[in-house]
Amino acid sequence: MSATDRTEIKKLGEFGLIDQISEKFVNKNSNTVKGIGDDAAVIDMGTHYQLVSTDMLVEGIHFDLSYFPLHHLGYKSVAVNVSDIAAMNGIAEQITVSLALSNRFSLEAVHAFYEGVKAACEAYNVDLVGGDTTASKSGLVISVTAIGKVEKGKVAYRSGAKLNDIICVTGDLGAAYMGLQVLEREKQVFLENPDMQPQLDKYTYIVGRQLKPEARMDLIHELLDLNIVPTSMIDISDGLASELHHIATQSGVGLNIHEDKLPFATAMQEAALEFKLDPNTAILNGGEDYELLFTISQDDFEKVKKHPDIHFIGYINENSNGLNLVTNNGNPIPLKAQGWNHFGEN
Ligand code: ADP
Ligand code: MG
């Protein structure tokens, strides 16, 4: 490589970059069951699998402190990591929390952040067991690692979807993204006229979805009780379309999802229309809902068909079929993966 060689990371994108990193490494320990490439790493502990996942939240990229209350940020930092353990069909047990703090932070601010961390530890029954604290010159950086466990026969990878499996999604989609649009708009209004108070009452639900996401650990416990092991699973952090692409690519399958089956809240739809956005764009490409996307064998359908919070959005089919959104008038259109991209190549 000459001194003039320089490739912009945005040419590769986040996933291309991760692929290039992972190509350099070969696992040497036989207890490393799954390394890079899923929601969490999987380590064989003999009696069970241990799950490990790390996610970083960076000020100015993932959150804006002008509208993100610190206790909510503390809660969300834990929830998004617990969500990655849930996405393996596992139960989170421990977390570590590392912070890089700028001198803008007071002791009171740090305490407010940890109030949120504590609330999440209680909600998800996890223990804070360590971390690291350092200074930062350019804003707050939060890195959380979650550790969990799963029975060996019950782990759900992104790669296990099979022909004719049913594609399921929990909760509703697109609201966290529309909540972010509202918060950004109110911030601009405030910057232009600091006397204006933010108008958020109408948007409680969608703003709450952005500021207070929950990991769907409740669903993992329910699936365990129902004796259902999803054939594949991922959490929706980057957007439904992007996550469907991960499942399809890693499982070597194609799939169809149906527009009329996609779950959304009325408040999300109303906000999208107000912002002159197609609600489907928020549903398919808006990120950060932290719902679970998974596939089940048709044999398991009876057990969940009446579940109020699981929606059946389509089917797995042959790889050659590709990924399609079947619109309300029955036309299949190719599903593009446009998820979030912090390196900005979209
Ligand atoms: P998620 O959205 O579920 O958090 P990511 O897209 O962030 O997943 O990561 C996908 C996979 O790539 C995970 O296995 C993660 O551990 C791995 N990964 C991400 N960044 C790096 C990195 N810098 N070095 C090694 N592995 C990484
Ligand atoms: Mg994930």
Q: How far apart are the first and last CA of the chain?
A: 28
d(CA 214, CA 291): 8
Q: Is 18 in the pocket of ligand 1 (CB under 6 A)?
A: yes
Residue type, 154: K
Cα-Cα-Cα-Cα torsion 85, 238, 10, 25, nearest 10 degrees, comes to 20
Tell me how far the alpha carbon of residue 77 lies from the centroid of ligand 2, in angstroms: 13
Which DSSP string do the residues of 295-331 spell out, in sequence order? EE-GGGHHHHTT-TTEEEEEEEE-GGG-EEEE-TTS-
**Residue-level pLDDT at 3:** 59
Flag residues of the chain having pLDDT under 50.
Answer: 345-346
The SS3 call for residue 79 is helix
Place of tokens 């590709």: 322
Using CA positions, which residue lies closest to atom 22 of ligand 1?
A: 18
Residue type, 296: I
8 A C-beta contact, residue 115 and residue 122: no
Residue type, 305: K
d(CA 181, CA 205): 13
- Candidate from 25, 32, 36 with most ligand 1 atoms within 8 A of CB, to mutate: 36
The SS3 call for residue 205 is helix
Tell me how far the alpha carbon of residue 196 lies from the centroid of ligand 1, in angstroms: 41
**Residue-level pLDDT at 346:** 41
Q: Is 165 in the pocket of ligand 1 (CB under 6 A)?
A: no
**Residue-level pLDDT at 276:** 97
The binding site consists of: 39, 53-55, 62, 84, 114, 131-132, 158, 235, 237-238, 288, 340
Angle in degrees, CA 182, 184, 185, rounded to 5: 65
Q: Is 35 in the pocket of ligand 1 (CB under 6 A)?
A: no
**Residue-level pLDDT at 194:** 82
In this structure, are strands 232-235 and 127-135 parallel, antiparallel, or unpaired? unpaired
Identify the nearest ligand to the CA of 242 by its number. 1
Tokens read off for 255: 């799939």
Nearest CA to 314 out of 249, 269, 247, 250 is that of 247
8 A C-beta contact, residue 259 and residue 280: yes
**Residue-level pLDDT at 2:** 58
What residues flank ion ligand 2 with Cβ within 5 A?
A: 39, 84, 235
The binding site for Mg(2+) consists of: 39, 53-55, 84, 132, 235, 238
Q: Is 243 in the pocket of ligand 1 (CB under 6 A)?
A: no
Tell me how far the alpha carbon of residue 243 lies from the centroid of ligand 2, in angstroms: 9
Q: Is 191 in the pocket of ligand 1 (CB under 6 A)?
A: no
- Within 10 Å of residue 254's Cβ, how many Cβ atoms? 18
**Residue-level pLDDT at 20:** 92
**Residue-level pLDDT at 342:** 57
Using CA positions, which residue lies closest to atom 26 of ligand 1?
A: 36
Q: Is 135 in the pocket of ligand 1 (CB under 6 A)?
A: no
Residue type, 215: A
